[in-house]
Amino acid sequence: LSIYSFVFFLLNIPAFSQNGIEGLHYDIQVRLDTSDHSLKASQTVQFTNATDKKLDVVYFHLWANAYQDNYSPLVQQQLRMNNTSLHFAHKLNRGGYKAIQFSETETGNVLEVKYQDDSKEIAEIFLTKGLAAGEEISIRVEYEIKIPRLYSRFGRRKNYYQITQWYPKLAKFEDGIWHTMPYLDIGEFYSDFANYNVSIDAPVGYEIASTGVENSKGKYSANKVIDFAWFCSPKFKLASKQVAINSKVIELQVYNYNSNPLFDNAMEFLERSLRFYSEEVGDYPYTTMTLVLSEYAKGGMEYPSITVIGAKDEESLDHLVAHEVGHNWFYAALASNERKHAWMDEGLNSFYDHKYHLKYYNDAPYNNLVPSYLRNAHAYNILEAGFRGQEVLRKHQASNLSSELYSPLNYGIAAYQKPAVGYAFLESYLGKKKFKQIVQSYYAKYAHTNVKPEELQAEFESGANENLDWFFKDYIGSESQIDISVNNIENANGGCQVEIENKSSIDAPVQLSLLKENAVVDSMWVAGFSGKKTVALDQCDFEQVILFNEIINPDINGTNNSLKKSGLFKKGQSTNFKLLGGIQSRNKRDLFYFPHAAFNAYDKLMLGVGFYNSSFPPKGFRFAFAPAYSFNAKQLVGFGLLEKDLLFDSERFRKGIASFGFKRYNYFDNGYQLHYAKFTPELRFYFKTDPLVKTTKSLSLRVINLIEEYPIFNEESVSFDETYSLYSELKYSSNGQDVLAPVNFSASLEYGNYDGFSGARENFLKISSEYAYAYQFVKSKFFKFRLFGGYFLMNSQRESGSMASRFARGSFSLMSQGFTDYKYDETYLGRTNQTGVESRQISLTDGGFKDSPGSSYRIGLSNDYALAMNVKTDFPFDVKIPIKLYFDMGAVSTKSTAVQELKSKAYYSGGLAFEFLDETIGIYLPLVQSTEISDSYLDRTFLQKISFTVNTRKFNFWRAMEETSF
Ligand SMILES: [Zn+2]
């Protein structure tokens, strides 16, 4: 016995003797009143203070209160998931405690209650005389709950009642800490084991499904369980069956709401799931297992011996049944703290439900939901793709965080997918047999206890007989990513040696396979190491080394996992050609190609073949090219983009991207067909942001190099020349995605340098800024407000009368059209057209006006300053078409000839907007316009007053992935 273990031993004693609550017993009489959707109940909660200290207060959870108002953490979390139903719920559809009273059963003394939170979900109960160590108490609770419509787990729809997380529940008390927590969608619970006697009084004709067993009509009991849930409806079709698994008889029940035929095979799935888990983990812990199936349930939710499931197809139903049945082992029996360590139950359970799914479908869960043309034999499955995608984007979070700290997607990845992949990898490393022994002994030892993460790790380590910190501390407990590469193969000492490198901070073991003629000739595990390692082999009779060959593994970068001894392409990845697109391949290069047709007024029809290499999960190096043949210009046109991720450790930045974009198309000038070409190198850095605050922030520097052809008119002939312009733009953008009130902000500083008309180079330096705010005032109805301001700090053309032309570029424009798009950022059907439909295409940049006066009326332009304000609103009532009202106002200082003084002019314009696809496409009809704008419309027909916009920048999928918070 060393001194350290002696100290450790001493430290453990008080924790042991001060464990918490014992002998917890709930006795509940509850009546369901369907006329006012209420529960009227009376319950006693009996328990013993098993600590060595007196308790003056105890805590109860009143989770039904989460539905009462908009301040509950539930509503706040649902908003982060873009779910506004509860936020905008009608008062009649909400729910919560209408009355509640705590008293001492013995004396009848009413107990004082103090709420710990604004939503009154955590009640602190003051015990009159306190509860001495070892003493028992019984607390009586009388209460009435209004059942909300089904917005989360507790609620009702029509005559279907889901009574879960409903009764006043004693918080888990452990080692002197009360584990109090508000109710959440994302984030589960932590409870003491208790015995329940529940008598339920429901209207005649209502069937009840519940935790535990029914002893006599309406009387239920369940022993040593951590929760009690029930479900009730007159529309349940009941099927039941008795099965014997490992000589244990289990009563199976399936309650199918409205006899939905989609759930016809649920009983079969239930039985084989129970058999699967019993065989893998150990005996099923209860004597009944009940499934409640309803179209109103979202996904699945587990309760001891009962689970509720809603699925859209049979394969998902089977997966959900397996997953929720599995929770009887990992959650109900092994009752870890789900809120704080969701990876413990969800991770191990997901590992098993994947195994189950692979066994019966030869595929991963939910992969069937991806259209088959997006999948191929080498593609990541949908769950892997989500996991890798977040990791490559560097938006991932560690697996050991408390649930409320996760973004919705990251919860699914960190608590479910990442540990599931990890356990599969661990199983390959330890061997199937040893892994199974470890999990079975973990279950046998800790079933019916509140098991801790360190107990899970200790069980794995003693079974594996080695330290597994690389798994539990580094892989689960950090954001670090595993990346191993094979660097070199060479002959040495009559054999071969292979250099492998650990490019990460996780010293995970590495599986190394030798292949000859695509068959594995030898395979070995190399113990975890850091830095480079040389593996000596006693043979050289192989062609290729592959790491993690065909095993599920968490290596983030599969492209450096194989190396050939010789050949031109030693890295050895073959290319997967695929039409249109698909999910990225695991160990192959992808090249997606697509027929490409385009049109503009000058090139007319353009046809070509486009190709790109990166879909989802994204590659660290990406390219896309879309060359096309212009039938009018009879030349090659098109665009391309190359991007490379810049990864580095930084407190401030998530990642950087270096990119190079180019495009070349034609346009008209004075009736001549001319070309332009644009080359844009760019550096962009994304700031690290709180995953719970849905905002992306970036800083970018882009340098636009522009070559435009133009005609020179000589006396009798016309010749052509090219002008070169350079625009450097430094821009900060903050892109808010709050569902109720998103805020967008950007500020930029831009330097322009271009060929002036006189032949001299002209210059400008301008600053501009944009602020946009939207407010959802009724469900899906927004009021939007935008401000724009810009000023030229320097402009060699400030005093000229030319604006937005070849003579003076960079001018601010209240009304943005093709001829004002001097950086060629937008896509126009006819950027210089003065008549026809093409001339009425606008962009909502700069001043954001919706008018299209055209290049012959140079209205709202300035080489000095511009200010604008735009408002837009949905109608507060439902209309069949996506119609809005808009109003724009702005001012610029402008002049029309060089000799005039700069003079400020104000403009306004308002009308009706029709917008589609999140404002990607907009159609605008002005109704009121300031005189100068309306004068430019004098000879237009009604239809010619309509302008339109197509925001093609929204089609950039790579950028959308970077800038969308999931
Ligand atoms: Zn689960």
Q: What is the pLDDT of residues 745-759, one digit of tens each?
A: 999 999 999 998 777
Token pair belonging to 790: 């810009």
CA of 309 to the centre of ligand 1 (A): 12
Distance 762 CA to ligand 1 centre (A): 64
Express each pLDDT in 846-869 by its tens digit: 999 999 999 888 899 999 999 999
H/E run at residue 220: strand 219-225
Question: For residue 681, what are the contacts with CB-CB under 8 A and spacing of at least 6?
Answer: 658, 659, 660, 702, 703
Placement of tokens 């430094």 in the chain: 730
pLDDT mean over 328-344: 97
Residue 214's nearest CA partner among 145, 143, 111, 305 is 305
For position 349, what pLDDT does the model report? Answer: 97
Q: How many angstroms separate the alpha carbon of residue 302 from the centre of ligand 1?
A: 7
Residue 17 confidence (pLDDT): 43
Q: How far apart are CA 40 and CA 731, in angstroms?
A: 60
Nearest to 661 by CA among 686, 629, 687, 684: 684
Q: Which two tokens stand for residue 681?
A: 């190198």
Angle between helices 266-280 and 314-326 (to 10 degrees): 40
**Alpha carbons 779 and 776: distance in angstroms, whole number:** 7
The amino acid that residue 717 corresponds to is S
What is the sign of the dihedral through the CA atoms of 164, 168, 172 and 178?
positive
Report CA(253)–ligand 1 centroid distance (Å): 20
Distance 243 CA to ligand 1 centre (A): 24
**How far is residue 849's CA from residue 611's CA, in Å, rounded to a whole number?**
36
Distance from the alpha carbon of residue 922 to the mean position of ligand 1, in angstroms: 43
pLDDT digits (tens, 9 = 90+) for 799-812: 999 999 888 999 99
User: Quick one: what percent of the chain has pLDDT higher than 70?
Assistant: 98
pLDDT score at 716:
86
Residue in the block written with tokens 């070409």? 677
- Ligand 1 centre to CA of 381 (Å) is 19
Cα(174) to centroid(ligand 1), Å: 24
State residue 568's pLDDT score.
65
Cα–ligand 1 centroid distance for 133 (angstroms): 36
- Residue where the block lists tokens 């209309």: 879
393-427 pLDDT, tens digit per residue, is: 999 999 999 999 999 999 999 999 999 999 999 99
Distance from the CA of 521 to the center of ligand 1, in angstroms? Answer: 40
- Could you report the per-residue pLDDT of 866-902, keeping only the tens digit for each? 999 999 999 988 888 889 999 999 999 999 888 999 9
Ligand 1 centre and the CA of 556: distance in Å? 25
In the reported structure, the alpha carbon of residue 45 is separated from the centroid of ligand 1 by a whole-number distance in angstroms of 28
Q: Which of 122-136, 564-578, 855-869 has the lowest mean pLDDT?
A: 564-578
CA of 191 to the centre of ligand 1 (A): 16
Q: pLDDT (tens digit, 9 = 90+) per residue, 912-921?
A: 999 998 889 9
Each residue's pLDDT tens digit, 251-283: 999 999 999 999 999 999 999 999 999 999 999
Q: For residue 327, how far is its CA from the centre of ligand 1 (angstroms)? A: 6
pLDDT of residue 206: 97
CA of 300 to the centre of ligand 1 (A): 8
Compute the distance from residue 419 Cα to the ligand 1 centre, in Å.
13
Question: What mean pLDDT comes out for the span 218-231?
Answer: 97
The partner residues of 947 in beta bridges, in order of sequence, read: 924
Instruction: Over range 560-587, report the average pLDDT.
Output: 83
Distance (Å) from CA 324 to ligand 1 centroid = 6
Q: How far is the CA of 119 from the centre of ligand 1 (A)?
A: 26
- The whole-number pLDDT of residue 21 equals 93
Give me ligand 1 centre to Cα 896, in Å. Answer: 69
Taking the centre of ligand 1 as the mean of its atom positions, its distance from the CA of residue 683, in whole angstroms, is: 41
Do residues 820 and 804 make contact, with C-beta atoms less than 8 angstroms apart? yes
DSSP conformation class of 861: E
Structure token pair of residue 434: 């040893």
CB 555 within 8 A of CB 561: yes
3-class DSSP state of 282: coil
Cβ-Cβ contacts under 8 Å for 119 (sequence gap 6 or more): 65, 66, 68, 69, 71, 72, 73, 74, 182
CA–centroid distance, 746 to ligand 1, in Å, is 41
Query: Between β-strands 177-179 and 112-115, what pairing exists: parallel, antiparallel or unpaired?
Result: unpaired
341 CA distance to ligand 1 middle (Å): 12
Residue 20 CA to ligand 1 centre (angstroms): 27
When the pLDDT of each residue in the chain is averaged and rounded to a whole number, the result is: 94
Distance (angstroms) between ligand 1 centre and the Cα of 155 equals: 20
Q: What distance in Å separates the CA atoms of residue 819 and residue 806, rounded to the nearest whole number? A: 10
Pairwise CA distance, residues 82 & 960, whole Å: 17
Residue of 305, 202, 220 lying closest to 27 (CA atoms): 220
From ligand 1's centre to the CA of 185, what distance in Å?
12
Ligand 1: centre distance to CA 654 (Å):
30
CA of 331 to the centre of ligand 1 (A): 9
Q: Residue 8's pLDDT band (boundaries 50, 70, 90)? A: very low
Pair of tokens at residue 174: 């452990």
Rounded to 5°, the CA angle 730-734-740 comes to 160
> Distance, CA 964 to ligand 1 centroid (Å)?
26
Mean pLDDT for the stretch of residues 484-498: 90
Query: Is residue 85 a contact partner of residue 22, using CB atoms and an 8 Å limit?
Result: no
Query: Ligand 1 centroid vs 391 CA: distance in angstroms?
Result: 22
Paired strand residues for 27: 44, 197
Q: Rounded to the nearest whole angstrom, what is the distance from the C-alpha of residue 323 to the centroid of ligand 1?
A: 6
Q: Where are the beta strands (DSSP E) in 85-164?
A: 96-104, 112-115, 122-131, 136-146, 155-157, 160-163
CA 689 to chain centre: 14
Q: How far is the CA of 208 from the centre of ligand 1 (A)?
A: 24
Ligand 1 centroid distance, CA of 188 (Å): 9
Rounded to the nearest angstrom, the distance between the alpha carbon of 211 and the centre of ligand 1 is: 17
Residue 772 CA, ligand 1 centroid: distance in Å: 40
Please give the distance, rounded to the nearest whole angstrom, from the Cα atom of residue 303 to the centre of ligand 1. 10
Distance 178 CA to ligand 1 centre (A): 24
Whole-number percent of the chain with pLDDT over 90: 86
CA of 290 to the centre of ligand 1 (A): 16
Gap from CA of 346 to ligand 1 centroid (Å): 5
Strands 160-163, 21-33: parallel, antiparallel or unpaired by DSSP? unpaired
- Distance from Cα 87 to the centre of ligand 1, integer Å: 26
Compute the distance from residue 170 Cα to the ligand 1 centre, in Å.
23
Give the Cα-Cα-Cα angle 318, 322, 326 (nearest 5 degrees).
170
pLDDT digits (tens, 9 = 90+) for 597-609: 999 999 999 999 9
Contact between 747 and 731 under an 8 Å Cβ cutoff? The reply is: yes
Terminal alpha carbon distance of the chain:
51
pLDDT band for position 715 (50/70/90)?
confident
Expressed in angstroms and rounded, the spacing between residue 187 Cα and the centre of ligand 1 is 10
Calpha distance 709→36 (Å, rounded): 76
pLDDT of residue 489: 93
Q: How far is the CA of 37 from the centre of ligand 1 (A)?
A: 29
Question: How far is the centre of ligand 1, averaged over its atoms, from the C-alpha of 311 (Å)?
Answer: 15
Query: Measured in angstroms, how far is the CA atom of residue 325 from the centroid of ligand 1?
Result: 9
The pLDDT tens digits of the residues spanning 9-57 come to 444 443 334 589 999 999 999 999 999 999 999 999 999 999 999 999 9
Per residue in 634-693, pLDDT tens? 999 999 999 999 999 899 999 999 999 999 999 988 888 899 999 999 999 999 999 999
- Predicted pLDDT of residue 965: 87
- What is the whole-number distance in angstroms between the Cα of residue 961 and the centre of ligand 1? 27
Task: Give the full edge-to-edge strand order of the sheet including 219-225.
Answer: 96-104, 136-146, 38-49, 21-33, 194-201, 219-225, 213-216
Question: Is the pLDDT score of 3 beyond 80?
Answer: no
Ligand 1 centroid from CA 362, angstroms: 21
**Measured in angstroms, how far is the CA atom of residue 161 from the centroid of ligand 1?**
21
pTM over 0.85: yes
**Given this model, what pLDDT does residue 572 score?**
63
Distance 301 CA to ligand 1 centre (A): 7
Question: Which two three-digit tokens encode residue 171?
Answer: 């918080």
CA of 350 to the centre of ligand 1 (A): 7
Beta strands in 796-894 (DSSP E): 812-813, 816-817, 842-843, 861-862, 865-874, 883-894
| More confidently predicted of 611 and 878 | 611
Residues lining ion ligand 1 (Cβ < 5 A) are 346
> Alpha helix locations (H) across 362-465?
382-392, 408-411, 418-430, 432-446, 453-464
